[in-house]
Amino acid sequence: MSLPSQSPVVPSAAGPEPGSATAAGPEPGSAGATPDARPPRRYGLDVLRIGAICGVVAIHVVGTYVANDDRRGSRNWWIATAIDIGAIWTVPVFVMISGALVLAPRAHRDGPAAFYRKRFARILPALIAWHLIYLVVVRMLLRGEELSGKALTQLLIDGRIYTALYFLWLIAGLYLLAPVLATFLAAGDGRRAGITAAVAMGWILAAFMIAGVANLNGTPRPIHLGAWTMWWPYVGYFLAGWALARVRLGGWRTVLAALLATALLAEGVWRWGSRPDLPVVQALFPVSYLGASVAVAAVCVFLVANTLGDRLRPSPRVGGWLVRLADASFGVFLVHLLLLALIQWAVPDLAIGESLSVTLVTCAVVTVGSFAVSLGAARVPYLRAIF
């Protein structure tokens, strides 16, 4: 991924998009724009991508401590839970950043065929290679799992070959839909984008509320998401990213949005950790990527980051590093679970999930190591094709 560009998704599954780092300047064809105009870079999105991918690593590493029932309820367990559940905004925000950039008219100016060639030439090699890596290296070699053909087929159809790889299927599905959405949005204005995003998010969140209420009433109607359907609940976030890309909050609104996001995430941590007897609340507002309270928190984080990010004016050196680290986020997403699995295999007695301090140190090592691997791989021909 080249330095002067910004990838269209966080974690990014597509190649650099010239000028796509911006959403503040005029689009080609608008008044005051030239066909090749490149608005100033939005470093706020770079910072948001870096912070969000660090949150994803924390979820997967610190989550091993949260999953330890022997530590449940202790002070350290609550600290770990605050880190884990407090980072739940990351995946929705990744999808919103993707929408902000991938739905831009610049990304579709050469038509859907060119869009598909560019995006899928990037995402398909990564999807195939990393599914094989996690299946063969982690599941079979490191863990010694023996998977039958039937079990393997089921995992593949479900998009669950390994923990976080479902995200690749999610993004692939949104890419397929992107030209249609972009054409519709380009024919309107910001109001059209906002209404469409609000309707899509409302419909999707309502679908999961209905599933929760049905389960509460003893008539469960679970929503199953597989490799081919993983994308649809995230269309609302995808559209919201584009609709809100140019929204900037005033001073007191920025503070209010930050406080609201903090309060909602804190409430999610408390509710997830304490498991209060609030069945209706749990059914209507699940602590999940597709829960209404998490959606509002994610939108607030996105708005605050965009608003504050516009004030960033880094030096060329600092700006260059922000770009490099942000572009490395896709590789960090792909490789961090492999590094964690290798550490657990190489040092089986390491108290990951048993000691909070060890878990946090491991999290730091995996984060730094993943960035190092991703940055290094980006400089190696052929290898960079899957990073």
pLDDT tens for each residue of the chain, 387 residues long: 333 334 334 343 333 332 333 333 333 333 344 444 555 678 889 999 999 999 999 999 999 999 999 999 999 999 999 999 999 999 999 999 999 999 999 999 999 999 999 999 989 999 999 999 999 999 999 999 999 999 999 999 999 999 999 999 999 999 999 999 999 999 988 899 999 999 999 999 999 999 999 999 889 999 999 999 999 999 999 999 999 998 999 999 999 999 999 999 999 999 999 999 999 999 999 999 999 999 999 999 999 999 998 888 899 999 999 999 999 999 999 999 999 999 999 999 999 999 999 999 999 999 999 999 999 999 999 999 999
Residue 57 lies in a domain: yes
Contacts of 283 (CB under 8 A, 6+ apart): 209, 212, 213, 215, 216
**Cβ pair 236, 205 in contact under 8 A:** yes
**Cβ pair 122, 175 in contact under 8 A:** no
Residue 147 lies in a domain: yes
Residue 30 lies in a domain: no
Distance, in Å, from the CA atom of 103 to the CA atom of 97, rounded to the nearest integer, reads: 10
- What the block records as the tokens of 336 is 């961090």
Give me the pLDDT at residue 386, please: 94
Nearest to 319 by CA among 100, 9, 42, 12: 42
Contacts of 229 (CB under 8 A, 6+ apart): 173
The structural domain count of the chain equals 1
Give me the pLDDT at residue 42, please: 80
Cβ-in-10-Å burial (0-12, 13-18, 19+) of 84 comes to buried
**6 by DSSP, 3-state: which?**
strand
Taking the whole predicted model, whether its pTM rises above 0.75 is answered as yes
- What the block records as the tokens of 31 is 């008044």
Give me the pLDDT at residue 38, please: 58
Compute how many other C-beta atoms are within 10 angstroms of the C-beta atom of residue 365.
Answer: 14
* Range(s) of the domain holding residue 347: 43-386
Residue 19 lies in a domain: no
Give me the pLDDT at residue 312, please: 86
Distance, in Å, from the CA atom of 325 to the CA atom of 292, rounded to the nearest integer, reads: 31
CA-CA distances (angstroms) from residue 234 to 66, 149, 290, 328?
26, 30, 8, 23
Distance, in Å, from the CA atom of 123 to the CA atom of 307, rounded to the nearest integer, reads: 30
Residue 357 lies in a domain: yes
* The residue to which tokens 């390491």 are assigned: 350
Give me the pLDDT at residue 311, please: 86
Residue 259 lies in a domain: yes
Give me the pLDDT at residue 39, please: 58
Give me the pLDDT at residue 37, please: 52
Residue 343 lies in a domain: yes
Give me the pLDDT at residue 12, please: 39
What own/partner pairs with CB < 8 Å and gap ≥ 24 does 166-169 have? 166/225, 166/227, 166/230, 167/11, 167/91, 167/94, 167/333, 168/13, 168/123, 168/126, 168/127, 168/130, 169/127, 169/227, 169/228, 169/230, 169/231
* Rg of the Cα atoms in the chain: 21
Residue 329 lies in a domain: yes
Give me the pLDDT at residue 366, please: 98
